[in-house]
Structure 1
């Protein structure tokens, strides 16, 4: 088997530890002056690509890719500090059409063709919109096999075996390269980028492009009508015994 050419798409999102707030216009979540970081599921993807190389699987190159505002280069440098060989940044300014999952999948297809990638590892979803659609759409556009929500990945020659958790147990799927894998939280624990690797990452190549370079039709097909916070949860009620619980459930109309 020739070496794997792994593409790892990553996204800059509001940090998972920050509580999102709806903006005053109720059109989106407030992003100004809010801490951002790499999407947690994408950290798993970078980590797994690097671990494949460490497990002596033939890996020719690991390319980290992101489409987003200029500050997205920060997470690309983080990915390279974790072990990616180089990065590609498609700069999307505020005035540009904001990418939706289908637009991202179309863009990734062009990148896969350009980079001649034969394995794409990406997070199962991003924690900002939780769409969980991009990997599946990309597999459809490329007509490649896919394995979603991976909790274990094994590569033997041209065959990839992926284990994932399902209701009541685990499911194992097997496919031939090229293919798409989306990552779940149990797959691994991402490493911290060490200071020496952070310094080395500054010298790794980072290519900047625009949507025009890919001649992509990224016009939005969805329109957000209104964004509101969920209603506060009501407090629980304590009951003395089972009879009391049944009476309360009947009172609430649950029985």
Structure 2
């Protein structure tokens, strides 16, 4: 089974996020980056599928040169190959542009299953996976927690829906977007880390994919950022004292006049 894992590198949520001058992006120079946590659950499921039925896992990512750090991590964990789509002309691509770029790359890669995290923790869009499936005209299952092969052309997947678990069969080729599931992502071993340093990461540009940069990013984006605003500081808590009836009256008053939730 040929499994492709779409990987995204995101700012570490422990980093201090500062809005850049102009208000349309964040200051990225001092940020530390990590693999998107939901993509880690996706690579765990990808490696389990590979162990069960054989095949290979190929990592695929779009982004600047530092994305190779994330790809090296995936190779160290157990992926077989990595492809990095790196082109300054593609910087600033929104979710639809990113899906188009990935779709163009997947037309050059044999695959049975495409896995990705159900969302990225930096933008919370949860859009690239379904968009990718639509562009490739293949089925998609979202919020997947586990997946297993039931034949050479189908998978049985479990997915979280409305406080319940749904089990379904999906034909391959397909796209699965991975939710946090019962299988914790594995860590890279020392041997895996050393082996990953010897593996070659294939690099493609927009030209290699036959993608027109002018139509894939920047001003051509379907979504334009108008303004980024940091969240307001949380006000300190307040303790109400007095007789219960008096406290209840004061609480109701505050909920109406200050919190404005009543």
TM-score where L is the length of structure 1: 0.89
Q: Does residue 5 in structure 1 map to residue 6 in structure 2?
A: no
For residues 16 and 187 of structure 1, do their structure 2 counterparts lie closer, same or farther at Cα, with a shift above 3 Å needed?
A: farther
Any stretches of 5+ residues in structure 1 without a counterpart?
none
Q: CA RMSD in A?
A: 2.0
Alignment partner, residue 131 of structure 1 = 125
> For 1:39 and 1:156, how far apart are their aligned partners in 2?
29
Using a 3 Å threshold, how does the CA distance of structure 1 residues 167 and 119 change in structure 2: closer, same or farther?
Answer: same
1:44·1:187 contact (CA, 8 Å) conserved in 2? no
Query: Shift of residue 246 of structure 1?
Result: 4.4
1:153-212 Cα offsets, whole Å, 9 max, x none, are 222112212222223322223211111100112353111111211110122231111112
- 2:261 is matched with 254
Aligned residue number for residue 32 of structure 1 = 29
Does 81-90 or 110-119 show the bigger shift?
110-119
Q: Distance in 2 between matches of 1:181 and 1:65?
A: 15
1:231 maps to which residue?
232
Q: Which ranges of structure 2 fall in alignment gaps of 5 or more residues?
A: none
d(CA) in 1 for partners of 2:163, 2:202: 44
> How far apart are the structure 1 equivalents of 2:60 and 2:182?
20
Q: 1:148 aligns with which of 103, 126, 142?
A: 142
**Which of the numbers 24, 42, 64 marks the counterpart of 1:69?**
64
The aligned runs of 1:41-56 (5 Å cut-off) are: 41-54=38-51, 56=52
Evaluate the alpha carbon distance shift between residue 200 and residue 235 of structure 1 in structure 2; reply closer, same or farther with a 3 A threshold: same
CA contact (8 A) 1:6 1:59 kept: no
Match of 1:103 among 72, 78, 97: 97
After superposition, give the CA deviation of every residue in 1:73-98 in whole Å (9 maximum; x if it has no partner).
111111011111011011132x5442
> Residues 223 and 163 from structure 1, CA distance in 2 versus in 1: closer, same or farther, beyond 3 angstroms?
same
Give 3-state SS (helix, strand or coil) of 1:70's partner. Answer: coil
Task: After superposing the two structures, state which structure 1 stretch, 193-202 or 105-114, moved more.
Answer: 105-114
2:182 and 2:26 map into 1 onto residues whose CA distance is 29
Q: CA deviation at 1:248?
A: 4.4
Secondary structure of the equivalent of 1:150?
Answer: strand
Alignment match of 1:85 (pick from 49, 58, 80):
80
**Cα deviations across residues 26-59 of structure 1 (Å, max 9, x unaligned)?**
22111102111111111111111112223x2x23
Partners of 1:96 and 1:165 lie apart in 2 by: 34
User: Following TM superposition, by how much is the alpha carbon of 1:16 offset from its aligned partner in structure 2, in angstroms?
Assistant: 2.6
In the comparison of the two structures, how many residue pairs are matched? 249
Aligned partners of 1:16, 1:87: CA distance in 2, in Å? Answer: 25
Q: Distance in 1 between matches of 2:81 and 2:254?
A: 60
**Distance in structure 1 (CA, Å) of the matches to 2:191 and 2:163:** 44
Distance 1:5 1:237 in 2: 57
For the residue of structure 1 that corresponds to 2:156, the secondary structure is strand
Q: Is the 8 A contact 1:92 1:98 kept in 2?
A: no
